Amino acid sequence: MSKHRFAFVGTGGRALSFIEPLVTTYRDSNELVALCDLSPTRMAYYNAMLSGELGYHNVPAYPADRFGALLRETKPQTVFVCSKDDTHHDYIIRSLHAGCDVITEKPMTIDAAKCRAILAAQRTSGRRVRVAFNYRWAPFRTKVKELIAAGTIGRIRSVNLEYLLDTNHGADYFRRWHAHAAESGTLLVHKSTHHFDLVNWWLDAIPQQVFAFGDLVFYGRANAEARGDGHLARYPRYTGHPESKNDPFRLDLDESAAFRGLYRAAEEDSGYIRDHNVFRSDIDIYDQMSLNVRYRTGELLTYSLTCYSPREGMRVCLNGDRGRIEYQEFIGTHMNRAVRPGDFKLDQKPGAEAEGEWIRVYPHFKPSYLVNVPPATGAHGGADAVLSHSFYSPDAPATDPWGRFAGHEQGAASILVGIAGVESIRHNTPVNLHHLVPLRPEAKKLSELV
């Protein structure tokens, strides 16, 4: 049996979570045929890992301006896109037109025009696009889907979702390219796409209208100075600046071999500085956001994201006409240190005690009860291993009983909430999603979308 041929675009920390299982657990049925990145240094780091500790072999490494040659010469069947968010559309569209299927890291893209271009390319090519929404695949979140589908609390009428990013994980977005709206679409697109997709999927509903507020109130030079923390803004970055030694927001790229190899050593050929000061003056995204969403089938979502919390986690309340489900996860904080998935770990800082995950059902007129869910291990709440199996295993079913596969239309339904939120904030007005991208108007349920 011939092996399925994969190429990867983007060799930062996230790609390794997908490449390692491909070349180890699933190597008998799959082949990594090429890497593509702006940085030859990063690709060399990956190839050293592939031929060394992963027991694989070097693969051809193509600079970004030779992506067309990669498609012609290595003939991948599937291209996996893990590059910077604002470049996703380009690689997706070129891969589709070359006859490849695509798996893309979330978000699928960052604005409405790029989204429309992807949907048009998919229609003309007939190839498949999947979005790597790992949130759907975590056992606790799948259990919530199961409870809703079983009618445990009747029909869901409204959802409240609060997500907290702490001063470890949350701050990391403000060190990197994510802090620029032109590159990330803001965290309403880059980060919140996880949360919007989760609610869309839980409800099996398509978002229709958004009204939002957003502000930058904590990060950035002006906010630091207004709080009396101006001394934390004196240096442009943290690595190589001894005066930042006691800064609680400090990230030292020399702290690990992975950081040195992927980022510090690659600065010259990539231009990417991984450890910018979070209190610099050029940040133009929000660090607190609040949205209201109405779905085509009438449900309401009230959502908030705070990026400077002393603790990290999520609290969700689902209100049905037969009761209520409360779900929370406060399992500690983490930050992508570009390590192998097996090395994934949760960090714990003072004042951020982990409380774990739990689901409690509150039926009308009956006692509440906790739902038993076996504990999950591994990255992203146990989701990454299950998701990789769905991508790579020849035994993976073509359909999933919980509808966890997400194609281009469901990927669009997620990002469009964030894109509409940004438009709403800018213009202080509600935004209808069909004015941005006309997802099939006759569809009522998310499951009707690919």
Q: Which two tokens stand for residue 108?
A: 């699928």
- The domain locations on the chain are 4-132, 135-219+283-381+404-448, 221-270
Q: Domain 4-132 is classified in which CATH homologous superfamily?
A: NAD(P)-binding Rossmann-like Domain (3.40.50.720)
Residue 203: phi, psi to the nearest 5?
-80, -15
Q: What is the pLDDT of residue 380?
A: 56
Distance CA 314, CA 300 (A): 18
**What does the pLDDT look like over 406-419, one tens digit per residue?**
999 999 999 999 99
> What pLDDT, on the 0 to 100 scale, is given for residue 373?
87
Task: State residue 354's pLDDT score.
Answer: 54
What percent of the chain clears pLDDT 70, i.e. is strictly above it? 93
Instruction: Name the strand (E) or helix (H) holding 161.
Output: strand 156-166
Residue 314 confidence (pLDDT) above 60: yes
Determine the pLDDT at residue 331: 76
Residue 341 has pLDDT above 70, yes or no: no
Distance CA 421, CA 433 (A): 10
The position carrying tokens 């929000």 is 286
pLDDT average, residue stretch 131-144: 93
Per-residue pLDDT tens for 34-45? Answer: 999 999 999 999
Candidate from 285-294, 318-327, 379-388 with smallest mean pLDDT: 379-388
Handedness of CA 66, 71, 77, 81 (dihedral sign): positive
pLDDT at 87 over 80: yes
Mean pLDDT calculated for residue range 326-330: 95
The model carries a pTM of 0.94
Instruction: For residue 173, count CB atoms less than 10 angstroms from its CB and return exposed for 0-12, middle for 13-18, buried for 19 or more.
Output: buried
Task: Assign 337 a pLDDT band (cuts: 50, 70, 90).
Answer: low
pLDDT at 376: 63
pLDDT of residue 247: 97
Report the interhelical angle of 88-97 vs 112-125 (nearest 10°).
10
Q: What is the mean pLDDT of residues 107-132?
A: 98
Give the amino acid at 11: T
345 vs 88: which has the higher pLDDT: 88
Amino acid making up residue 271: G
3-state secondary structure 57-95: CCCCEEEHHHHHHHHHHHCCCEEEECCCHHHHHHHHHHH
Strand partners, 61: 35
Q: Mean pLDDT, to the nearest integer, of 204-210? A: 98
pLDDT at 436 over 90: yes
Residue 15 has pLDDT above 90, yes or no: yes
Give Cα separations from 305 to 141, 291, 312 (angstroms).
18, 9, 11
Crossing angle of the two packed helices 13-23 and 40-51, in degrees rounded to 10: 30
Alpha-carbon span 142 to 201, nearest angstrom: 10
Q: Under DSSP, is residue 41 helix (H, G, I), strand (E, B) or coil?
A: helix
Is residue 297 classed exposed, middle or buried when 0-12, 13-18 and 19+ CB atoms within 10 A define those classes?
middle
Supply the pLDDT for residue 215: 98
Helix (H/G/I), strand (E/B), else coil: 135: helix
Mean pLDDT over 249-264 rounds to 93
Mean pLDDT value across residues 137-158: 96
For 335-363, what is the mean pLDDT? 65
- Output the pLDDT for position 398: 83
Q: What is the mean pLDDT of residues 15-26?
A: 96
Residue owning tokens 């994969």 = 6
Q: How many CB atoms lie within 10 A of CB 333?
A: 23
> For the chain, what percent of residues have pLDDT higher than 90?
87
In angstroms, what is the C-alpha Rg of the chain?
22
Which helix or strand (DSSP H or E) is residue 414 part of?
A: helix 408-427
Residue 297, pLDDT above cutoff 50? yes
Please give the Cα distance from 337 to 49 (Å, whole number).
16
pLDDT of amino acid 53: 95
Nearest of 415, 387, 424, 404 to residue 193 by alpha carbon: 415
What's at 194, amino acid-wise? Answer: H
What pLDDT score does 256 carry? Answer: 87
Give the model's pLDDT for residue 344. 47
Which of 103, 93, 81, 75 has the alpha carbon at shortest distance from 15? 81
**Is the pLDDT assigned to residue 382 strictly greater than 70?**
no
User: Lowest-pLDDT range, 23-32, 254-263, 359-368, 431-440?
Assistant: 254-263
From residue 208, alpha-carbon distances to 117, 138, 302, 440, 444 in Å are 20, 26, 14, 12, 10
pLDDT score at 385: 84
Which superfamily, per CATH, for 135-219+283-381+404-448? Dihydrodipicolinate Reductase; domain 2 (3.30.360.10)
| Mean local confidence (pLDDT), 233-245 | 97
- Would 4-132 and 135-219+283-381+404-448 be classified into the same CATH topology? no
Q: What is the mean pLDDT of residues 152-177?
A: 97
Answer yes or no: is pLDDT of 225 > 90: yes
pLDDT at 433: 98
